[in-house]
Structure 1
């Protein structure tokens, strides 16, 4: 104790222990840093984990927003494509005097030999047997049976389907038959003098009254002789998207509108010319 008091008194008067304390501080400094390192490391690790969790949460939120935005974009693109298809469908009938009704294919016959579909409209919607239906590219088929809430229809490629057609270039009238293949129609019994060539376009002729005239049916992709070698057979590529159709347009001919021009004047009623009797 006496030694300690003596050293403290000497240090206060002469400050000769200052350098000793400074050297000791330099030696003890690393020990303090090592002692404080674990707590600093834990604090840094905690802050890093907190920042990482925040970044993960923000990443998840942005990913959800991106998925939602992409879904909305796909929906808008689908609606835009649907509107374009509807405009194309309606645009094909503007120059014709036709009744039209939009329908959707809700079922497809799975039998590979039968090309039939079911439409979501029926007799209660005004659908009748024999009505034709089209897509944006051309004729798809014809209604064969109706129920109150739906209708069965035959596609142009069904083996039992036939439609009167006309070659656009030459005016030749023939009949196109279904072949049972999704990508091929057939025109049979073409006389040797028939003016038909490859790449000729065929449209409905309107003969028979079941199919309105002027709708695209197909394009000639090949000509060949039949078994008798007396007639030609033309293979057609269907104009309509037979295998991909979803929304269709039912079409039927309407009576011509005879009320064209200004209205007729009202009938003239003759005035009475009777004379009153003169009294004598």
Structure 2
């Protein structure tokens, strides 16, 4: 333990020096306040200092700004993704609706054509929907969603807005089978509307063509002539459009012509057909006016001197 040295004497020189420094600081502060009040130079100094410090503030604020930007971008991306998905679904739904409406419009137009053909020809017909189509080259059939319970009977002629389609060969209680004109086993007696020449049109397994074999070279037949049912055989009523002759060429024997006919009916399209219930009393469908017919129901030529001979050719024997 150090020895007691007695009472200490205060350092008055140090206190005076501190007081003088305080007074000097106060005087300096007072001078600066007065100068700043009168000249505003401290304000300018602060502005200059803020310009120097501003980049530091910007750098210090970058992390927070980046965080806010990322948060906003994430929210915007999620919102845009959701809206894009919603718009895509709406587009698909609207496209499906438009396609459906277009299909309905086409079906409506076809039905109008069928009903218009029935009205023009004063036909007693029955509308039957098509349930199935078989256009195999060796088998040309239609299955109708109507049968004997709906009044469909075997032998009924089937037509559409263009012309003859075929005939009913089987009638079940709920469904019926139609043999198309283009079936290889089908033949229909026809007559040329311009000259009255009678022929037989055969199916060949193609939905876009019928065959006219055995045409005599002396027959008054040209490309572009229309052929209709002649009424021979009593199976089909006379006067229904069958098609238009598109080609004529000699056969292998060079003794006869072989013709090609484009069917008037739309055999490969459509969803409905008409079943003929009774023989029409007015002009046949597909013709502008009724033409004179002979005792067999075949149309006669208007003027033999104008190119129509009025002669008829003997149809070839039906195929076995």
The answer to whether the 8 A contact 2:107-2:271 is kept is: no
Q: TM-score, normalised by structure 1?
A: 0.79
CA deviation string 1:15-56 (max 9, x = no partner): 379366555433332212111111112212322332333333
Question: Which structure 1 segments of 5+ residues have no match?
Answer: 258-280
- 1:172 has 2:204 as partner: no
Aligned to 1:148: 173
Aligned 1:123-202 pairs, distance under 5 A: 123-202=148-227
2:147 maps to 1:122:
yes
Q: Does 1:234 align with 2:259?
A: yes
What's 2:78 paired with?
53
Note the alpha carbon deviations across 1:49-92, whole angstroms, 9 max, x for none. Answer: 32333333333333333332222222222111111111111212
Asked if 1:69 corresponds to 2:87, the answer is no
CA distance, structure 1, for counterparts of residue 79 and residue 60 of structure 2: 31
User: Aligned partners of 2:222 and 2:53: how far apart in 1?
Assistant: 104
> Paired residue for 2:121, among 87, 96, 99?
96
Structure 2 regions of 5+ residues with no counterpart?
1-17, 37-41, 283-320
Task: Look at both structures and tell me which one has the larger radius of gyration over its CA atoms.
Answer: 2
Q: TM-score, normalised by structure 2?
A: 0.70
- Cα–Cα, structure 1 residues 243 and 9, in superposed 2: closer, same or farther, change >3 Å? farther
- Map 1:225-264 to 2 at 5 A: 225-254=250-279
Report the Cα offset of residue 132 of structure 1.
Answer: 1.7
Worse-superposed segment, 137-146 or 53-62: 53-62
Maintained 8 Å contact 1:212/1:252: no
User: What residue number does 1:28 align with?
Assistant: 53
The structure whose residues are more often helix, as a share, is: 2
